[in-house]
Structure 1
Amino acid sequence: MAGGQLKSVASLLLVLNFCMFAVVLGIGGWAMNRAIDHGFIIGPGFDLPAHFSPIYFPMGNAATGFFVLFALIAGVVGVASVISGLNHVRFWNIDSLPSATSTAAIAWSLTLLAMGFASKEIELEIRNAKLRTMEAFLIILSFTQLLYIAVIHGASSTR
């Protein structure tokens, strides 16, 4: 009985995580595109500006580049984790558990890394509303991804 309830909880968390990772990827893609389009312009002699940084973002603060980069990586790995998790929910046996757990743990650790840069960006205070939204989503995702890992491990111990 508990396995069926945990299966539905895991399915709900997977759908929630997928939607949130998709939003993170969308906002992160926007930020990366804006940084590429409006970043430093290298002059005709290919001289770099005085304060050139390869991770320069015209919006936000000094932590924005690292935050967006790691948020994009966490988002891609998170979507892969959801795909592996859907496969596990479909079969719901001990053979599909290791791949779902390992990808979920990797996605969670990368989400925590991006959340660390988000907290640094919050501390530095200069950012726009889209970056604030991405920060909030990563903070929530760090909890829901951990909850998903606990649910699939809890289901394996009830068998």
Structure 2
Amino acid sequence: MANTQLKPVASLLLVLNFCMYVIVLGIGGWAMNRAIEHGFVIGPGLDLPAHFSPIYFPMGNAATGFFVTYALIAGVVGAASVIAGVNHIRNWNADSLPSAVTAATIAWSLTLLAMGFACKEIDLRIRNAKLRTLEAFLIILTVTQLLYIAAIHTVGPMRRS
């Protein structure tokens, strides 16, 4: 039988991370919608305004466009990695471990990238409360996703059932 001491910890972290990724998607979706609705308006002659940027966000600073874009990507991949995580928690054997660890590691690396843009946005200072919340969630998710990877990956050798 496989070592099941960390199974409840991994389950708790999986549920916590899923909820946090859904919140990241909600706030990121709001920011993207606001940017689309309040972005640059192209005039009747189809002339682009000076300094046009396709990732212009009316709130925040110069890093906001990159931050929100990568936060959305990290949120989608993180929420999708829960599928492999649930399968591994349910089976808890050596056959389900590689897919769960791989999906979680990809989600963590994208979350880490989004956290880097969050740090840059914090450094530039101009942002609203929703963006600060998104930054906080991504910084916390970087740590909790890494703890989840450690919890499912360091359970020791498992025999195939």
Shorter-normalised TM range:
over 0.9
- How many residues align structurally? 158
SS at 1:58's partner residue?
coil
SS at 2:107's partner residue?
helix
**Structure-2 separation of matches of 1:5 and 1:42:** 59
Q: How does 1:18-57 map to 2 (within 5 A)?
A: 18-57=18-57
Q: How does 1:6-155 map to 2 (within 5 A)?
A: 6-155=6-155
TM-score under structure 2 length normalisation: 0.95
- Deviation track 1:61-90 (CA, whole Å, cap 9, x = no partner) reads 000000000000000000011111011101
**Structure-1 separation of matches of 2:4 and 2:104:** 20
SS at 2:154's partner residue?
helix
**Structure-1 separation of matches of 2:65 and 2:78:** 20
Structure 1 residue 158: deviation in Å? 5.0
TM-score under structure 1 length normalisation: 0.96
**Structure-1 separation of matches of 2:150 and 2:51:** 45
**Structure-2 separation of matches of 1:62 and 1:111:** 19
Q: Which runs of 4+ in 1 moved over 3 A?
A: none
- Deviation track 1:7-26 (CA, whole Å, cap 9, x = no partner) reads 11100000000000000000
Q: Any conservation in 1 of the 2:2–2:92 contact (CA below 8 Å)?
A: no
- Deviation track 1:9-45 (CA, whole Å, cap 9, x = no partner) reads 1000000000000000000000000000000000011
Structure 1 residue 3: deviation in Å? 2.9
Gaps of 5+ in 1: none
Q: Any conservation in 1 of the 2:10–2:151 contact (CA below 8 Å)?
A: yes
Gaps of 5+ in 2: none
